[in-house]
Structure 1
């Protein structure tokens, strides 16, 4: 058992930019480079192991051979999360994701509840989160046809360090100028409601999924998404901040100034996304070499590996189920 450094799959969606390559060292020959799927077993973009015994193998293949790496908390033995970096140079489509019940029945995969951590944002950048007032399918259809959907959507100004929890069924859209880390269910089901009449590189408009979207969408008034104070706990060598805890995952922001110690028990794997800085993660097993990482890299730590230590100066998001 060893800690795995992951090599991501890339996506060249038309709204993407170049920051993931220019600032985060992603050696992926795609322009634009909109997303990198950092820790993924999804068939639409599996990540690959970049070190050790399993170097060159898809993470999905490794975890099929070693389901114990995922942990006892996951009943079906399948990695329940997908972790991404997203660079929105332009607005994403107005979209919604179904819940598990609908997605498993009609799409044969999980639904998609997600969380966004804002790594960076241009001044004045905004995102879409739910509706300003109650709507109906008829109201929405007319708004899409007439290009007036915007008047029904709640928008939130975005700043570096903001966190947004986006349950399945919430209409949403990441705005231009926002760079985020996304933690989500392992799924790739998205229903586009509106795409600003854009065309792809072949001159074709992207498909909309209005009829499915209105079946899964929460059409009530969106909750207040103003940022609430979060508690930061300070320790010798690091600080820790809980970002999100839901039925699918837990995400924590770790700022390492010297060292950070934590346990990886049999119940769950853990994932470290490095947002800035550098360091190394090591275990109590003297036979396992420390694994170095730097800004933009992601590592997967198998369940049951025991006590770990991160040494360095780094900003991390730590994910577990």
Structure 2
């Protein structure tokens, strides 16, 4: 089965909306529908194979059945599946947060840290997000501004539009704000330190937990740095991401699996003598070594592979 269609694990975080269901064809009974983990081996929400002889298996079960060769030789250096991909619908603001790097996360959380990228799919007029600081600040000022609820005064508020890309290395303070739908590619981690949550309460009626002490340790208190990804949307040791349109074609060789998240339109994905109709919101997984593939029709997609080790 060269083409696997994956069913996402879904999350009903309080800031979510309904656009993933209504516009991205994500089937879920959750209200709100905040996140769809469309490519996931994480124990907090693995994706499930929807088609073919392996239908019903989680993606980790599929890999266990067929072997890690299905991931490709570039994944051999990682102990776990290296990435996690999501669709995120922010009807309301997410918390201001930060993710630790691998060293800190492994020592304190027992899992890896998180570097990630955001690809903006929808943005209401005036939408923005927080992305690092306007200027370098000292740790003491950072602490004082958290306590006095003046942190946003020194954050870089980045206006955005559909198609914008943000690369967020571990340690970058950030927040997705309301009126935005994004596709996120990240390390396979679920470690988040909330710095500010606007005084909101969770489903239990209690204020949601903050992680100020941890955030003070891991945050890089500087403005975002320019990045050069050599023509890709984003690239790091965990993933390389590109935007493709109907008419795109490529090769899924034995170096890495290929993931295609359909971000708009509809069409047909062909690979290994098979054809599969695809539409906005679909997640397709081509095991390493699947061969030539082609995407036709009006479909647009976010394509992701795992790169070779960097010297």
TM-score for both structures, normalised by structure 1: 0.90
Q: Tell me, what secondary structure is at the counterpart of 2:248?
A: strand
CA distance in 1 between counterparts of 2:46 and 2:75 reads 19
Aligned counterpart for 1:294 among listed residues 276, 279, 296: 279
Question: Deviations along 1:154-183, whole A, 9 cap, x unmatched?
Answer: 110011110000000000001110110000
Cα distance in 2 between the residues matched to 1:142 and 1:151: 12
- Contact in 2 for aligned 1:67/1:77 (Cα 8 Å): no
C-alpha distance in 2 between matches for 1:113 and 1:145: 26
CA deviations on 1:2-39 (whole Å, 9 max, x unpaired) are 31100001111111111001111111111111110000
2:247 counterpart of 1:249: no
Instruction: Compute the displacement of 1:100 (Å).
Output: 1.2
Q: Secondary structure at the match of 2:53?
A: helix
Structure 1 segments of 4+ aligned residues over 3 angstroms from their partners = 221-225
User: Over residues 221-263 of structure 1, what are the superposed CA-to-partner deviations in whole Å (9 max), with x where a residue is unaligned?
Assistant: 33369xx9x99xxxxxxxxx7311221111110111xx32210
Residue in 1 that maps onto 2:309:
none
Aligned residues: 304
1:218-237 matches, within 5 Å, as 218-223=220-225
Task: Name the stretch that deviates more: 101-110 or 166-175.
Answer: 101-110
Residue 86 of structure 2 aligns to a residue in which SS? strand
Query: What is the Cα-based RMSD across aligned positions, in Å?
Result: 1.8
Q: What is the 5 A alignment of 1:83-122? A: 83-122=85-124
3-state SS in 2 of match to 1:309: strand
Q: Distance in 1 between matches of 2:79 and 2:121?
A: 31
Deviations 1:99-151 (A, max 9, x none): 11111222121110001000010111110011122223322222222211111
Deviations 1:275-317 (A, max 9, x none): 11112222244xxx31221111110100011111222221111
Counterpart position of 2:127? 125
2-structure distance, mates of 1:222, 1:183: 18
Name stretches of at least 5 consecutive residues in structure 2 with no aligned partner: 307-311
Q: State how 1:13-92 maps to structure 2 within 5 Å.
A: 13-65=13-65, 66-75=67-76, 76=78, 78-92=80-94
Query: Structure 1 unaligned runs (5+)?
Result: 232-240
- Find 2:269's aligned residue among 281, 289, 306: 281
Residue of structure 2 in register with 1:211 after alignment: 213
Q: 2:251 aligned to 263, 268, 272, which one?
A: 263
8 Å contact from structure 1 (residues 144, 194) kept in 2: yes
SS class of match (1:165) = strand
- Structure 1 CA distance for aligned equivalents of residues 123 and 71 of structure 2: 33
